[in-house]
Chain A
Amino acid sequence: MNEKDRLEILKDILFTEDREDIDKIANRIELLEQAYNSREKFASRVDPIVEEQLDKFTKSIPHTLGPTITATLKKEIQNHKDEVVDALYPVLGKMVKKYVAQEIKVLSEKIDNQLSFISAWKRKLRSFFGGSKEKELLLDDIGGEKIEQVMLIERGSGLLKASFSKTETIDEEMISGMLTAIKTFVEDAFNQKNQELELIEYELYNIHIQSFVNYYVAVVISGAYSLKAKDKVQDIIFDFYHNFMEMNLDLIYTSRHLEQPVDTISSKLIQKKLAEYFGNAKI
């Protein structure tokens, strides 16, 4: 037995216990590695902890992130007031209008009940003296309003953003400019703050004007323009404008997200939307 062998025996005697410990540690590391590499095993251990932390985090949002979110929202709303008002206006307008319209409808029905028998007698007399059939007169009374043309116009500049028309008219860009000039003059001349020109009547045609912050919508309607038709036209305008503003906000968001300058929605797309909303609308 040489010196080297003796040294090995001595090592065996002295470090047996340590070696066992090292083996145990190696085994544990191996188990841990397996657990770490196996998603399921790892998840079963970690998930409850994450869930608990997430729960705590969710509960603490109002206290921790709340003020930051509120401040950010405030800042964003301040920076994009027009967009926010434009986005909310159709929704709020619709709510208020629906409520008022409902109340008026109730009142109108009551009056109609009182007057219906008078109207029937009037029609009979007109039929008797005028020679027309009572059925024709009844149809005349019902109306026959039709949307002929719609224009989305930029306020102030009067530039036409998009339009949809069922009939041939003179240059729409000139119409939108002139409409804006008339609207501007009326609103300016009477110096009434927050008052908007809403309707232009000419013989068998009416132009319904619905103003928003950045744009206004002008709808040309043929036939007798009843209150009921006006209600429907307003609903269609609000629905269209809501959709248009959503498209705008999406665009602003996407542009910011991609850190690209804000582009505008193409006129063709808006025109398509105008045709969709107003083209076959029954009023």
Chain B
Amino acid sequence: MQKSKKIVILGHFGVGKTSLIQRFVKDSFSDKYKVTIGVHITKKIVEVNENDSISLIIWDLEGTDEVQMIRQAYLLGTHGVVFVFDVSRPSTFQNLNSDLKIVAEKTPDTPLIIVGNKIDLVIQDELQSLLKDNNIEANYLTSAKTGDAVNEMFTHLATLLNDLT
């Protein structure tokens, strides 16, 4: 059996967590917003190098504005975390650093990737100053709609997890 790793996707409501997964797994995008209730699980086999691949089991957790309220039980045994915020909605990143601190406490010693999504909705120059003004260091700036940096982000995490074992 292939090496499997569990990753969880966290973030506020409507930041595009499900869309990012949809883009990565099925290479598709829908404008219709469907709220995730509880958790939805998908899987994708990712090639990390010429001879090695890894099975990513992706837990898409329902969005919450209170990061503290995320069910701890869903985070058990997770190997990697992706925290998504919406670059077009300040309410999803205004408290980003304190949110990330809570996430890190809930998932100690677990690689965490910070993703700013929906970059297709903002002007590039404004985006950079927005991030700087809010003291945000995002690992990836993505767009589930156009597919920008989505594959790179998941593949980077898969490679990271593969190298850790």
Contact = CB atoms under 8 A, between A and B. Distances in A.
Nearest to A183: B73
A181 B39 contact: yes
A8 B71 CA distance: 107
Interface string B18-37: 00000000000000000000
Interface string B43-77: 10000000000010101000000000001011011
A90 interface: no
Contact of A184 (B1, B6, B73): B73
Nearest to B1: A267
Nearest to B39: A181
B76 A177 contact: no
| A: contact size bracket | 20 to 34
Main secondary structure of the interface of A (DSSP, over half): helix
B73 to A, nearest CB: 4
A252 to B, nearest CB: 19
A160 B77 CA distance: 12
A174 interface: yes
B74 A181 contact: yes
Nearest to A268: B1
B74 A184 contact: yes
Nearest to B55: A173
Interface in A164-191: 171, 173-174, 177-178, 181, 184-185, 187-188
Contacts of B1: 160, 162, 267-268
Contacts of A132: none
Nearest to B71: A188
A174 B43 contact: yes
A267 B42 CA distance: 21
Contacts of A223: none
Nearest to A161: B1
Given A173-B55, A174-B42, A177-B41, A155 B77 contact: yes
B108 interface: no
Contacts of A184: 71, 73-74, 76
Contacts of B38: 181, 185
Contacts of B74: 181, 184
B79 interface: yes
Contacts of B43: 171, 173-174, 177
B41 A160 contact: no
Given A173-B43, A177-B41, A178-B41, A159 B71 contact: no
B162 interface: no
B41 A181 contact: yes
A157 B79 contact: yes
Contacts of A178: 41
B76 A173 contact: no
B139 to A, nearest CB: 23
A157 B76 contact: yes
B151 interface: no
A178 B59 CA distance: 9
B45 to A, nearest CB: 10
A154 B41 contact: no
Given A181-B38, A181-B39, A159 B57 contact: yes
Contact of A187 (B41, B57, B73): B73
B73 A159 contact: no
A173 B71 CA distance: 22
Interface of A: 154-160, 162, 171, 173-174, 177-178, 181, 184-185, 187-188, 267-268
Given A155-B76, A157-B77, A178-B41, 12 more contacts: A157-B78, A158-B41, A158-B77, A159-B5, A160-B4, A173-B43, A174-B43, A177-B41, A177-B59, A181-B59, A184-B73, A185-B71
Interface of B: 1, 4-6, 38-39, 41-43, 55, 57, 59, 71, 73-74, 76-79
16 contacts: A154-B77, A156-B73, A158-B41, A158-B77, A171-B43, A174-B43, A177-B6, A177-B41, A177-B59, A178-B41, A184-B76, A185-B38, A185-B39, A187-B73, A188-B71, A188-B73
